[in-house]
Structure 1
Amino acid sequence: ATRGAPPVLYVQGDVTALRQPQLAVVGSRRPTPAGCRIGREFAAALARAGLVITSGMAWGIDAAGHEGALEAGGTTIAVFGCGLAHRYPQENSALAERILRRGALVSEFPPWEAPRRQNFPRRNRVISGLALGTLVVEAAAESGSLITAHFAADQGREVFAVPGSVRNPLSRGCHQLIREGAHLVETPAQVLEEISFHQENQQIMQNPQVPALDKEYEMLLDALGFEPVTFDTLAARSGLSGESIASMLLILELQGRVAPYPGGRYGRINSD
């Protein structure tokens, strides 16, 4: 059992989701547009690989993680810092209803418990405790997401951090975690590798097949070439959505057809 686990969890939605392998995605409540995109893309790719995406339903990276999982057709869990009779923040009420259809809402607090500031750091141990690891995308030096990461480390879970510009204040928390021993990750495949994720649909990782007539894969491979290019260049060349590119790159990387390079670039490593 996880140390400090609550005696009871209240659940709305699919309770079986709690027994599935999970990855927590957390970060700044006020991320940059690039940070939001990264959180969304990581969540989408990891959801397609079979992981449930767990987060805290807050603005920013939390919401991006939930949305990425939903857009990928995956499952996501939102851990509340209040009772489940409340929808907090109210702006995410519609997102909560979407999560209910494809996952679960979870709280350790009785249903009518109102949102209280002191309860939100406390619920972070539930987010980290449910998951195999915690991924932090953009966090200031005093970000609450660092609390989740430290809970994860104390619970014996893996901690992952996405690095950023030294000029971006929202990179400081992630860089601090990396200095403390968190895994520096630039691709979803690196997360999967570190947690040694295996499950029923692990054929995606062991023997993924790119359909011979799948136009989107052909478009992406044509856009890649053998000289490393950036994600933005891939999107411009292929005309594909960011979510589609992220998930296809993950599969191609696991196949050994594509490799990540410094600076967020990708390149082909063998021909068809």
Structure 2
Amino acid sequence: MADPAIHSSAIIAPGAEIGPDVRIGPFCVIGPQVRLGTGVELKSHVVIGGDTSISEGTVIFPFASIGQDPQDLKFKGEHTRLEIGARNRIREYVTMNPGTEGGGGVTRIGDDGLFMANCHVAHDCQIGDRVVLVNSVAVAGHCVLEDDVIVGGLSGIHQFVRIGRGAMIGALSMVTADVIPHGLVQGPRAHLDGLNLVGLKRRGASRAEIAELREVLARLHDGAFRDTARELSTMDRGEMVGEVLEFILGPSERSFLKPA
């Protein structure tokens, strides 16, 4: 506790692993199974428990609660984990829970994400890189959010839902089914509303690639998603379309969001 980068009011349990250049502010509480990587910063009043690892450069803001028991009545105290990647920004009052035995035992957060105030990431979720959850987003258990997903404020993601890479969820949406990669979804009971054109352009998608995605999306609207995707997958398609078709044909416990 003599380290000037660790405030004298912080409580760090024996067994916690604190990496180089870590900064721990006033009134933080760190449990015995916590591992903080190089350059992690806890602003103040942060509570981290459970078997939780946080990689280099991640910053956690006041009153976040990380690694506490899952909000699942089936959880009986079994050993599970929470893994948080590098360079994330985890804002005020965010909660992130570890996994459960029935869901694989681990919740994973990728790198370079932004989790705005009051967000919740539930047990057994798998969150990719560069994901943005805007204020008060709630992600239920067992969800998968692939890389570059953005979820607008006050939205809810139903348990077991998958959201494909580069998809955009509009604010105040309730997402109850899978969202295709690069899809744009919005609505109180959300529906598929086209492509996330802004995100595609930011990632350098060409006009030809966007046109091909639009063509395939129009075909998918004509019938059952999986049947149409199987038919389209036999044709010569570009990489982005291939990604959408692979996602649709992948394992899922949910249906797919379709146009209103």
* TM-score calculated relative to the size of structure 2: 0.28
Q: Which structure: greater strand fraction?
A: 2
Report which structure shows greater RCO (CA 8 Å, sep ≥6).
1
**TM-score, structure 1 as length reference:** 0.28
Query: Which has more helix, going by share of residues?
Result: 1
